[in-house]
Amino acid sequence: MRTDVIYGLAVDLVAITILAHLIYFYRHYRRDLRLAYVAVNIGVFTVVTLLLVQRADLAIGFGLFGVLSIIRLRSSSLTQEEVGYYFVSLALGLVNGLAAQAPWVALPLDAVLLAVMYLADHPRLPPRTMHRVVTLDVVHPHEGALRADLENRLGGTLLRCSVIEVDYVRDITVVDVRFLPRAPRREPVRVPATRASAPEDSLSRSTT
């Protein structure tokens, strides 16, 4: 195996480990997607490296992985955050496979991709909005009552709600909701009171 391929593989393994394990897994805790990101990254790197070594048409490899990516994304329910990680893991494989002979190009690009994902998905930066599809067992007559009910049930500040379905026969309302959860209140720590010994008890102990 050529030295540039080994070097590119080592850089790619370090990069996908940082992305899939240190950044993604410790924030979202999904082992299945961590494995998927690693598999896609290594698969892309392997195919791109083989196409470069054999001097084949790169359009064949790009078309193949485009089809595989569409199948993978349609076969499971993924959030937009997980889709972002998915494509960055694919991009890391492409960058390290294509730029294996030019490490001064691959390393800065890897650092940019990892830094962007680390900062963009950092839990301390923006307030995290949440998304829910809520089925209510009531039909509210106006939007104000609907928003108040949703904020009470979800325990957060409602940002946007869109009514998907209203069933007056069963009294059901299906609403697509985006809200900002409220920070949990910190209750004061209560120190249990210690029972002081009565004077009679101390006197009886001393006499005995």
Q: What is the DSSP letter of 56?
A: -
pLDDT score for 203: 44
CA-to-CA distance for 18 and 116, rounded, in angstroms?
13
Per-residue pLDDT at 150: 93
**What residues contact residue 144 under an 8 Å CB cut-off, 6+ apart?**
none
Per-residue pLDDT tens listing for the chain (208 residues): 578 888 889 999 999 999 999 999 998 888 988 998 999 899 889 888 887 777 666 566 566 666 555 555 555 567 778 888 988 998 899 889 887 667 788 899 999 999 999 998 887 776 677 888 999 999 998 999 999 999 999 988 898 899 999 999 999 999 999 888 876 665 555 655 555 545 555 444 444 4
Give the model's pLDDT for residue 206. Answer: 47
pLDDT at residue number 30: 87
**CB 119 within 8 Å of CB 27:** no
DSSP 133-188: EEEESS--SSHHHHHHHHHHHHTEEEEEEEEEEEETTTTEEEEEEEEEEPPPP-PP
